[in-house]
């Protein structure tokens, strides 16, 4: 499924390309399922780094190994695999995709391909942000924005498993119910009715939060600064700027982590770390402790509809895309 120009979902069109050939560290993967993330929509609209057309989007994959590059070890043809294709290369909206073998992992046995394909990008983002960057500790109070969203719903689960008290934000009744009843968040702030920063501060006893994960950006990022505790940490997955709140970041000696899960593979920055994270996530999934929530599955030839759904910004959990019949 190729994107031939920047604009609306109608620019996504089926076409035929040769099967790609794996590079040194790459796997050739027969894609059974992929997913749509907000980053697909951002690239489609032209809001990210300029790239040559046509572009194959789709930065999650679950499928079957069909070939290995010369320096690949630990994988063989027929293995079931899940992972993220490079964010700066061809994606998985296709019958075949290349994955960095070091950054991929064995598919969780308990999840079908559509559920498995819902996990890598958001799971890596949430894990890197909470564990690798913020080094989350049991007993901390954490604010996770948009707990019903893709990254948010995995982050809430990981933070609860770590032993943290989890506060999250949501705006629609079904999102609030999902955060509370399905994810088990300790507190859900309706950001449409309440000043979330004031409320989160209040819930922390006035001190502010140890860790805040911003998945919304811009004004949400800036207002979040007001509820981070002195010495606390703020993570964002967007190119947010503090503006006039930089003075607060300074006075409270706050750390801001900009988290982009694509940076590891794009920069060859220990991509094996992501393989290890995905293996841990697969283990948690197989033990029933982390569950990717798939709210809709679209066939690949209906990818444009999947984009229209993600563009509502009202998706609960994830949108999966089935490339082959299960």
- Least Å distance, CB 126 to a second copy, is 14
> What residues between 199 and 258 interact with a second copy by CB under 8 A?
230-231, 236-243, 246-247, 249-258
Binding mask 121-140 for a second copy (x = CB under 8 A): -------x----x-------
Of residues 40-59, those binding a second copy (CB under 8 A): 49
- Decide whether 39 or 294 has the Cβ nearer to a second copy: 39
Q: Smaller CB distance to a second copy: residue 30 or 132?
A: 132
| Least distance in angstroms from the C-beta of 101 to a second copy | 20
Residues 107 and 81: their CA atoms lie apart, in Å, by: 5
218 Cβ partners below 8 Å, 6+ apart?
238, 240
Q: Does 161 bind a second copy (CB under 8 A)?
A: no
Task: Provide long-range contacts, Cβ within 8 A and 24+ apart, for 110-113.
Answer: 110/285, 110/286, 110/288, 111/62, 111/285, 111/286, 111/292, 112/33, 112/326, 113/32, 113/33, 113/62, 113/63, 113/322, 113/324, 113/326
Task: List the structure tokens of 237.
Answer: 């997955």
Which CB, 129 or 284, lies closer to a second copy? 129
User: CB of 217: closest distance to a second copy in angstroms?
Assistant: 10
Q: Does 276 bind a second copy (CB under 8 A)?
A: no
Q: Which is nearer to a second copy, 8 or 46 (CB)?
A: 46
Q: Which of residues 88-107 bind a second copy (CB under 8 A)?
A: none
Closest distance of CB 48 from a second copy, Å: 9
When binding is defined by CB under 8 A, the residue of 32, 160, 264, 293 that contacts a second copy is: 264
Q: In angstroms, what is the minimal distance from the CB of 220 to a second copy?
A: 14
Q: Please say which residue, 194 or 247, places its beta carbon nearer to a second copy.
A: 247
110 binds a second copy (CB under 8 A): no
Closest separation between CB of residue 60 and a second copy, Å?
Answer: 19
User: In whole angstroms, how close is the CB of 312 to a second copy at the nearest point?
Assistant: 24
Q: Shortest Cβ distance from residue 182 to a second copy (Å)?
A: 30
Residues near a second copy (CB under 8 A), total:
34
Q: How far is the CB of 105 from a second copy (least distance, A)?
A: 20
Q: Which residues in this chain contact a second copy in the complex, by CB under 8 A? A: 49, 128, 133, 230-231, 236-243, 246-247, 249-264, 266-267, 269
């Amino acid at each position: 499924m190729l994107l031939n120009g920047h604009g609306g979902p109608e620019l996504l069109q089926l076409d035929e390309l040769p099967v790609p050939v794996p590079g040194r560290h790459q796997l050739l993967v027969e894609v059974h399922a992929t997913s749509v993330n907000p980053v697909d929509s951002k690239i489609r609209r032209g809001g990210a780094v300029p790239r040559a057309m046509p572009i194959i989007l789709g930065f999650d994959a679950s499928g079957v190994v069909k070939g290995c590059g010369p320096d690949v070890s630990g994988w063989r043809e027929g293995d079931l695999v899940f992972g993220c294709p490079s964010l700066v290369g061809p994606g998985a909206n296709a019958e075949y995709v290349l994955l960095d073998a070091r950054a991929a992992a064995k598919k969780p046995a308990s999840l079908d391909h559509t559920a498995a394909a819902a996990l890598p990008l958001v799971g890596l983002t949430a894990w890197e942000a909470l564990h690798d960057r913020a080094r989350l500790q049991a007993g901390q109070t954490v604010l996770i924005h948009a707990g019903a969203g893709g990254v948010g719903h995995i982050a809430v689960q990981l933070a609860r498993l770590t032993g943290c008290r989890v506060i999250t934000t949501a705006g629609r009744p079904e999102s609030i119910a999902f955060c509370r009843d399905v994810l088990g968040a300790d507190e859900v702030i309706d950001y449409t009715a309440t000043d979330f920063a004031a409320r989160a501060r209040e819930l922390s006893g006035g001190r502010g939060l140890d860790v805040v994960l911003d998945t919304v950006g811009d004004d949400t990022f800036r207002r979040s600064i007001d509820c981070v505790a002195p010495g606390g940490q703020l993570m964002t997955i967007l190119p947010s700027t503090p503006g006039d709140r930089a003075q607060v970041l300074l006075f409270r000696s706050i750390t801001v982590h900009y988290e982009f899960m694509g940076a590891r593979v794009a920069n060859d920055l220990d991509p094996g770390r992501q393989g290890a994270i995905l293996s841990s996530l697969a283990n948690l999934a197989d033990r029933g402790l982390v569950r990717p929530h798939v709210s809709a599955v679209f066939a690949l030839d209906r990818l444009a509809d999947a984009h229209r759904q993600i563009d509502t910004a009202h998706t609960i959990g994830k949108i999966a895309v089935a490339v082959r019949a299960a």
